[in-house]
Amino acid sequence: MAQASPNRTVVEEVTGWLRIYSDGTVERLTPPGGEPFTDIVPPYTEPRAGVTVHDVATDRGIEVRLYLQEPAAGGSRRPVLVHFHGGGFCVSRPTWALYHNFYAPLTAKLKVAGIVSVYLPLAPEHRLPAAIDAGHDALLWLRDVACGKNVAYSAPVERLRKAADFSRVILIGDSSGGNLVHLVAARAGRDGMGALHPVKLAGGVLLHPGFAREKKSRSELENPPSPFLTQEMVDKFLALGLPLGDTKDSPYTSPELAAKAVEHVAMPPLLLMVAEKDLLRDPQVDYGKAMVLAGKEVETKVSRGAVTHIFYLNFLAVKSDRLTSMRTKELIHAIKNFINHH
**Same domain, residue pair 270 and 138:** yes
Q: pLDDT tens for residues 204-222? A: 999 999 999 999 999 999 9
Question: How much of the chain, in percent, has pLDDT values that exceed 70?
Answer: 97
In this predicted structure, the answer to whether residue 2 has a pLDDT above a threshold of 60 is: no
Residue 309 designated active-site: yes
Same domain for 303 and 267, yes or no, is: yes
pLDDT value of position 68: 97
- Write down the H helix ranges in the chain: 35-38, 97-110, 130-147, 155-163, 176-191, 218-222, 231-241, 255-260, 281-293, 315-320, 322-340
pLDDT at residue 250 greater than cutoff 50? yes
CATH of the domain at 128: 3.40.50.1820
Q: Are residues 140 and 277 in the same domain?
A: yes
Number of domains in the chain: 2
> What's the whole-number mean pLDDT along residues 180-205?
94
Can you give the pLDDT at residue 73? 63
Catalytic residue among 137, 144, 174, 278: 278
**Strand ranges of the sheet holding 201-207, from the earlier edge strand across to the other edge:** 44-48, 51-57, 63-69, 114-118, 78-84, 164-174, 201-207, 270-275, 298-303
Write down the pLDDT at residue 148: 85
- Same domain as 10, residue 51: no
Nearest to 4 by CA among 28, 24, 18, 19: 24
In terms of domains, do 193 and 228 share one?
A: yes
User: Is residue 177 domain-shared with residue 222, that is, in the same domain?
Assistant: yes
182 is an active site residue: no
- Which positions ≥6 away from 293 have C-beta within 8 Å? 259
Are 149 and 204 in a shared domain?
yes
Q: Which range of residues forms the domain containing residue 6? A: 1-32
Q: Same domain for 75 and 6?
A: no
Does the pLDDT value for residue 1 go beyond 50?
Answer: no
Calpha distance 280→275 (Å, rounded): 9
342 pLDDT exceeds 80?
Answer: yes
303 is catalytic: no
114 and 25 within one domain: no
Residue 27 and residue 75 in one domain? no
Q: Are residues 5 and 116 in the same domain?
A: no
Average pLDDT in the 3-32 region? 91
pLDDT score of 257 more than 90: yes
Q: Are residues 15 and 112 in the same domain?
A: no
